[in-house]
Amino acid sequence: ATVNGAGEFGNHTLMSMPLDGSSVPWPMLWIGLSMDVGSAYADGRNVYFGTLEQDGYLGVCDASGCPESTTSFYVVSEGIAGASAIVHRPSEDAFYIAEPFTAALSRVDIDSGAIEPFETNQIAVFDLARNNTHLFWGTALPEDLEGDGIEIQNYLARKAFAGGPMEELAETAEVTAIAVEDGWVYFGEATGDVSRIPVDGGEVERLASGFERPSALLVHEGYLYWTDRSRDGGVYRVAL
């Protein structure tokens, strides 16, 4: 099946560009003003993405582009309560997604599109990461909501794919990004810090600070890379 973008086409787009920056970004999908892309994942052949509206979709396009002159996409699953983050687990051929409208983390089977609950009551999750055994995430409730008896405490957490209870790894500020590599959970916070903690929990080690909103963490060849979602922007790295 395909779903057409609706309304006026604006800046609600899924973009693509070469890793070497040899050409400017080009639109893979003009999704229209009725929907927006909340998360995306590429596996070399396909680009999977989730839309952010309350009755949303997990969609897919060939990496070369979406059908019908970039105005449609193929549906993997529908009826998703937004998809602010997605992560693929190849051994299951499934995606794990964060659904902000229901505060749920869910599993989506790629073949059938079936949605299964994984963890509930996880409010404001905007990034997910995994290793072979666990799903990792952090919460990002704005701390300026505190007051009138409301106390905000964000945290890093994990849960085994095999089941069992959620495990809280550390109390944090608003978690803006997360990555897992080589036994470490790397995360950014709205305080501007970039830190890491062992995947089983332990002491938090600060790696860098002074940023506005560290995002898009990536570990590659002995370095941690990230972008800063700020007016000045930029791509940064630190040796591990």
Q: What is the DSSP string of 64-114?
A: TB-HHHHTEEEEEEEEES--SEEEEETTTTEEEEEETTTTEEEEEETTT--
pLDDT at 97: 97
- The single-letter DSSP state of residue 231 is S
Banded model confidence at residue 21, pLDDT cuts 50, 70, 90: low
Task: Check pLDDT > 80 for residue 32.
Answer: no
> Which pairs with CB-CB distance under 8 Å and at least 24 residues apart come from 109-117?
109/77, 110/76, 113/58, 113/75, 113/76, 113/77, 113/78, 114/77, 115/77, 115/79, 115/80
Q: What is the mean pLDDT of residues 139-168?
A: 88
- pLDDT tens readout for residues 40-99: 888 878 989 998 888 999 999 888 888 876 778 899 999 999 999 999 999 999 999 999
More confident residue, 101 or 147: 101
**What dihedral do alpha carbons 40, 187, 107, 27 form, nearest 10°?**
0
Task: Check pLDDT > 90 for residue 174.
Answer: yes
Banded model confidence at residue 158, pLDDT cuts 50, 70, 90: very high
Q: What is the mean pLDDT of residues 182-200?
A: 97
Q: 118: left (phi > 0), else alpha (psi -120 to 50), else beta?
A: alpha
Class of domain 2-239: mainly beta
Rg (CA), the chain: 18
> Helix (H, G, I), strand (E, B), or coil: what is residue 144?
helix
Closest CA to 136 of 153, 116, 159, 154: 159
Which distant-in-sequence residues (6+ apart) come within 8 Å of 26 by Cβ?
15, 16, 17
Task: Check pLDDT > 50 for residue 163.
Answer: yes
What residue segments make up the domains of the chain, in order of their start?
Answer: 2-239
How many other β-carbons are positioned within 10 Å of the β-carbon of residue 60?
Answer: 18
Residues 167/138, Cβ–Cβ less than 8 Å: no
Closest CA to 58 of 9, 98, 10, 6: 98
Q: What is the mean pLDDT of residues 11-40?
A: 72
